[in-house]
Amino acid sequence: MDNIKGDSMGDHSAWSFRIGEKTVSGDRNQGRNLYMIGAIVGDIAGSRFEFNNYRKKDFELFSEECHVTDDSILTLAVAKAIMETCKVIRPLIGKPETGEKFYVMAEWMANKYLREIGRKYPECGYGGMFAQWIASEVPKPYNSFGNGAAMRVSPAGFAAGTEGEAISLADAVTQVTHNHEEGMKGAEAVAVAVFMARHGKSKMEIRKRINNDYYPLDFTIDVIRDAYEFNETCQGTVPQAIEAFLESTSFEDAIRIAISLGGDSDTLAAITGSVAEAFYGVPDEIRERALAYLDPYLRGIYDDWIAFIRDRKENNNKSTVPEKENKDNGI
């Protein structure tokens, strides 16, 4: 397969990628309000390195060894839950207590679709506790602080109209499984970073918010790379994934940095890719290469999500997610 290479961009608005003899270019403004393909790209690109780490950036982005894992599948399940919640709640918008009802419904839908969709792909790499959860007929949260909370949450950051909505929605779709405070924090941090990047905040602003309210970002990827070990917790994955984005110069560079760290490479890259997409956008060539790995069922959910987000844009980007009343989101 062709090797896809990215050029330096930093915080600048223009971007360009060279793919073989072809140069693809654009503007950061085109990429802010995208969808969730970043998590899927990161998952697929990192899949072949999860148990065979490669701590350099000079690898082929996509290969025959790459595949979809639970990171992509559960991200799409969260997207499905949000879409179905909006279908039910939309007629109630503007009525008393609609905000509270929305998040109750979102939690119920997350419970439903994480299990319903998850059961269709039993061999995609679930952790043991989550595998038991999706098999249960009466599932209950299991106090997890695993990084599964953060890898699947990006749709909350893309759907929300305010940062408070992003946090409330992240909480709703996370607490069905990862109700430990560290699991909730990891999901919130990613949703907030996605929301901020999507709305044009600088890397400095994103770093400050995450550093002050979620995790100390007092390290660099180069310094920790050699000693970094496989870690499936939010606190051992989310700050590293966000730092990989903050040090990057392009979407592709962010994915490469995350994977080069080693560890749980597909999840690291899925989290990094979520934020990097919101900040840089994703070149069409990379998007299409990643989408080719989805089967028709998963591609159908993705296409429905695209239509859902575009519908919001056509309605003046008006939020389909109501504010939750009486919730202190710290903003």
pLDDT greater than 90 at residue 3: no
**Using 50, 70 and 90 to split pLDDT, how confident is the model at 305?**
very high
- C-alpha 36/C-alpha 71 separation (Å) is 12
Higher per-residue confidence, 179 vs 8: 179
CB 264 within 8 A of CB 50: yes
d(CA 49, CA 51): 6
Mean pLDDT, residues 66-80 taken together: 98
State residue 90's pLDDT score.
72
- CATH 1.10.4080.10 holds for 35-314: yes
Task: Tell me the pLDDT tens digit for each residue of 14-61.
Answer: 444 333 444 444 444 444 446 789 999 999 999 999 999 999 999 999
Helices (H) and strands (E) in the chain, counts: 16, 3
Query: Which helix (H) or strand (E) element contains residue 27?
Result: strand 22-27
Can you tell me the mean pLDDT for 78-88? Answer: 94
pLDDT score of 217: 97
What mean pLDDT value characterizes the chain? 86
Model pLDDT for residues 88-146, shown as the tens digit of each residue: 887 554 455 457 789 999 999 999 999 999 999 999 999 999 999 999 999 999 999 99
Name the residue among 248, 217, 181 with its Cα closest to residue 10.
248
How far, in Å, CA of 122 to CA of 79, rounded? 19
The string of pLDDT tens digits covering residues 192-244 is 999 999 999 999 999 999 999 999 999 999 999 999 999 999 999 999 999 99
Calculate the CA 54 to chain-centre distance.
22
Q: Is the CB of residue 286 less than 8 Å from the CB of residue 41?
A: yes
Q: b/e map of 306-331 (b: 16 or more CB within 10 Å)?
A: eebbeebeeeeeeebbbbbeeeebee
